[in-house]
Chain A
Amino acid sequence: AQSVTQPDIHITVSEGASLELRCNYSYGATPYLFWYVQSPGQGLQLLLKYFSGDTLVQGIKGFEAEFKRSQSSFNLRKPSVHWSDAAEYFCAVGATENAGNMLTFGGGTRLMVKP
């Protein structure tokens, strides 16, 4: 069965600083990988996804992520954080098992942005 680990529960960065959120996955085949963001009281919004091809994926809001098969990682990065980026970020792996395609989520990383 697949699993996702987000080692950092909380991260605080200063506005304008760079950001990297870590994600490690476990899955037997080629994974489909996703990053979602959840703002307070909101649903989940897709930032980006990877399923094949170029291992550096660009997403919305200036985010990017790099798939590294050798490290089983899919870390999310942003060069300059804005106060509006404060939210909870979830990494997920998608799989097609038993004719379904459920998402397995990591525990999430809560990002706080200092002015």
Chain B
Amino acid sequence: DSGVTQTPKHLITATGQRVTLRCSPRSGDLSVYWYQQSLDQGLQFLIQYYNGEERAKGNILERFSAQQFPDLHSELNLSSLELGDSALYFCASSVGLAGRETQYFGPGTRLLVL
């Protein structure tokens, strides 16, 4: 158990819909990261927040957005869903911003868009 929690574990929805994925980081961690794992794209970094502020952006679609709240939990919002958005979405957390820090991964949310 990494200490990072993600809800829900599974999500099935239809094209065009909007969903929200939730992540609680490990106690004391200020950085939260979102990654997408799909068969065709592999594991890709989406976005990072540090203490409530966006710090880095990767290959995140404009239909996707995220935020980190004052209690440090984070939400990833996916809208206008397409079949290709079906993937495993991971949240990770680390203490701060140093590149050498370990990122601890949650169990993921598996999204299926029908």
Residues of A within 8 A of B (CB): 32, 34, 36, 42-46, 49, 51-52, 90, 94-108
- Residue from B44, B55, B99, B105 in contact with A94 in the complex, judged by beta carbons closer than 8 Å: B99
CA gap between A101 and B98 in the complex, in Å: 7
- Residue from B4, B58, B102 in contact with A102 in the complex, judged by beta carbons closer than 8 Å: B58
CA gap between A108 and B42 in the complex, in Å: 8
B64 at the interface (CB under 8 A from A): no
How extensive is the interface on chain B, given as a class? 20 to 34
- The distance from the CB of A74 to the nearest CB of chain B, in whole angstroms, is 14
On whether the beta carbons of B42 and A105 are closer than 8 Å, the reply is yes
CA gap between A93 and B27 in the complex, in Å: 25
**A44-B90, A45-B105 are known contacts. Are A103 and B56 too (CB-CB below 8 A)?**
no
CA gap between A115 and B48 in the complex, in Å: 42
On whether the beta carbons of A105 and B43 are closer than 8 Å, the reply is yes
B52 at the interface (CB under 8 A from A): no
On whether the beta carbons of A45 and B42 are closer than 8 Å, the reply is no
On whether the beta carbons of A102 and B45 are closer than 8 Å, the reply is yes
Q: Please, which residue of chain B has its CB at the minimum distance from the CB of A95?
A: B99
**A42-B107, A43-B108, A45-B2 are known contacts. Are A100 and B97 too (CB-CB below 8 A)?**
yes
Q: Inside 8 A of A52's CB, which chain B residues have their CB?
A: 100
CA gap between A106 and B104 in the complex, in Å: 17
On whether the beta carbons of A102 and B56 are closer than 8 Å, the reply is yes
B106 at the interface (CB under 8 A from A): yes
Question: What are some 7 contacts across the A-B interface (CB < 8 A)?
Answer: A99-B55, A99-B56, A100-B50, A102-B48, A103-B35, A106-B42, A108-B43
On whether the beta carbons of B99 and A101 are closer than 8 Å, the reply is yes
CA gap between A97 and B56 in the complex, in Å: 8
On whether the beta carbons of A101 and B56 are closer than 8 Å, the reply is yes
B79 at the interface (CB under 8 A from A): no
B101 at the interface (CB under 8 A from A): yes
Q: Inside 8 A of B105's CB, which chain A residues have their CB?
A: 36, 43-45
Q: Inside 8 A of A100's CB, which chain B residues have their CB?
A: 48, 50, 55-57, 97
